[in-house]
Amino acid sequence: MINTVPPAAIFIIGALLIPLLRGRLKSIYLLLLPIVGFINLINIPEGTHWVIKFLDYDLVFGKVDRLSLLFGYIYHLISFIAILYALHVKDDIQHVAGFVYAGSSLGVVFAGDLFSLYLFWEIMTFSAVVLVWSNRTKASLAAGFRYLLVHVAGGLCLLAGIVLYVINTGSIEFGYIGLKDLATYLIFIGFGVNCAWPCLHPWLPDAYPESTITGAVFMWTFTTKTAVYVLARSFPGTEALIWIGAIMTAFPIFYAVIENNLRRVLSYSLINQVGFMVCGIGIGTALSINGTLSHVFCHILYKGLLVMSMGAVMYRTGKINCTDLGGLYKSMPLTCIFCIVGAASISGFPLFSGFISKSMVMEATALGGMNIIWFLLLFASAGVFHHAGIKIPYFAFFSHDSGIRTKEAPLNMLLAMGIAAFLCVFIGVFPGPLYSLLPYPVDFEPYTPFHVVGMSQLLFFSALAFTLLILSGIYPAEMRAINLDADWFYRKAGVAFYRFCNVPLNSFRLGAQNFLTRVVDSTAKLSGGVYDPVIHRRPMGLGIFLSLSLIFLFALIYMISIYGRF
């Protein structure tokens, strides 16, 4: 038995040492950090550890059970892949921010109390925004500020909820909360902002595509999945989540179909995927929670893989819009294959990881008799294949030849993608090891002939629709354009509201003020200068005397009224 430390500590403290190292030593150190963290993690026994007294409360930095452990494993795994992918980057700030971001996410996952949870929650926001700003463009600066504003607002909502909750219950323990009163609703919405719920989501397609190529792997992983974790911990079985999740799976698909920027397509498909998880939490049965958690595990890998393949394209070509890309399979064949593996996994093709996790959530809705939800999720499954499964590989690597000839991605990027791709296929073929990590015993067989044929039919006939529409020219053409989303309300309507306050309302105030001043002035003039401040102002002492007497009088009346009762 070795001495273990809180998983967050290794990443966050370890990150601070990165700028001190140079060259090959730094590369080795970066790769070792997640490995050391993982060895530490598997040696932590289940239970409650690292309890620190703070004022009258217990801060718990290690609530370790099967739920938090599963997130711990996958967070370490993706951190290793992400840092391998980023190994060529010379910018220390990005490495530090990436590890602090991953570490604070681990902090949230293992937090046993609301205070430390909130602390790590806010560190996540601030470290993530560094990964956006590190792109050092005007667009990323602006997107980063918007990201910060939205998340600080969400964080304040969460803080208000936590304060009220602690006052109401007297306990800061973080466990099942459930929707009851104002405090719990505020916490619920605070979590929802990070989870990119409908209408609270626009920060995601706004900021994520502006993040750095390598930081993107961190971005696409941590914020939303940590929100899924806290929801699974504190609001399982909350009916509202079923609907929120189902809407999340459906509406981004429409946006993704007409979106030109491929990283923004991936952002919309992230919302779609998180929708499946949120829905599974809402149903709250053992099967659906298992489905959600296995989906988290698979999703982090295949979404990371897709993000990495698009990052490699961006790294080599400097472009990410459908209108600029095409025909890249000729010069980046390996990246193309990895991208297709990721696409097959997210679509849920049999033998790929998405298949063995998504079908659990689907089955849970079917068993619960939720027909509308089941249809929505099935529609979303077909739709995700359309935009993430076909659109991304097709427009980047095939489609019309853009004439771009470039080199294959660097070795470290290829290795990172290769590991992720291997795991996607491995989990898809052998789901057993993943199922054994889930919190509830798994009684689910994904590979029945009915599942396999049904899912294949769904996907292949979706592909047929795509093929026929492309061949007939009906498929919406790629256009150099952007699409309005809910962020319009704070990017345009907010600015317009400010202008309205500033120009018409302010000039009205100014006009009214000038007018009244003039009225007072002219009235004063009418009195012919009778008022002379030196003569007519009463001495100061009189005012003080009067007010003191008044207070004395009130005090007297108060005393009499109290004693009068006896």
Residues of this chain that interact with another protein (CB under 8 A) are: 253-255, 257-258, 329-330, 363, 366-367, 371, 374, 378-379, 382-383, 386, 398, 405-407, 448-450, 453-467, 469, 474-476, 479-485, 491-492
Amino acid at 42: I
Q: Are 395 and 312 in contact (CB under 8 A)?
A: no
Token pair, residue 209, equals 């595509």
Token pair, residue 25, equals 């030593």
First to last CA, the chain: 72
Token pair, residue 408, equals 């294959």
Q: How far is the CB of 421 from another protein (least distance, A)?
A: 20
Q: Residue 157 or residue 253: which is nearer to another protein going by CB?
A: 253
Q: Residue 80 or residue 349: which is nearer to another protein going by CB?
A: 349
Q: How far is the CB of 152 from another protein (least distance, A)?
A: 21
Q: How far is the CB of 414 from another protein (least distance, A)?
A: 19
Q: How far is the CB of 451 from another protein (least distance, A)?
A: 9
| Separation of alpha carbons 6 and 154, rounded Å | 26
Q: How far is the CB of 27 from another protein (least distance, A)?
A: 25
Q: Residue 68 or residue 462: which is nearer to another protein going by CB?
A: 462
Q: Residue 476 or residue 529: which is nearer to another protein going by CB?
A: 476
DSSP state of 445: -
Q: Please tell me whether residue 510 adopts helix, strand or coil conformation.
A: helix
Q: Residue 43 or residue 137: which is nearer to another protein going by CB?
A: 137
Alpha-helical regions (H) of 170-238? 182-194, 203-207, 215-234
Q: Residue 26 or residue 263: which is nearer to another protein going by CB?
A: 263
Q: Residue 107 or residue 383: which is nearer to another protein going by CB?
A: 383
DSSP 417-478: HHHHHHHHHHHHH--HHHHHHSSS-----S--HHHHHHHHHHHHHHHHHHHHHHHHT-SPPP
Give the number of other Cβ atoms within 10 Å of residue 164's Cβ: 17
Chain-centroid distance, C-alpha 115: 20
Q: Are 110 and 227 in contact (CB under 8 A)?
A: no
DSSP 70-86: HHHHHHHHHHHHHHHHT
Q: Residue 383 or residue 428: which is nearer to another protein going by CB?
A: 383
| Separation of alpha carbons 433 and 325, rounded Å | 39
Q: Residue 481 or residue 534: which is nearer to another protein going by CB?
A: 481
Q: How far is the CB of 372 from another protein (least distance, A)?
A: 12
How many residues are there in the chain? 566
Residues 6+ apart with CB under 8 A from 194: 121, 151, 154, 223, 224, 226, 227
Q: How far is the CB of 318 from another protein (least distance, A)?
A: 12
Alpha-helical regions (H) of 235-261? 239-258
Q: How far is the CB of 271 from another protein (least distance, A)?
A: 15
Q: Residue 39 or residue 482: which is nearer to another protein going by CB?
A: 482
Give the number of other Cβ atoms within 10 Å of residue 454's Cβ: 14
| Separation of alpha carbons 509 and 240, rounded Å | 45
Token pair, residue 469, equals 């529409």
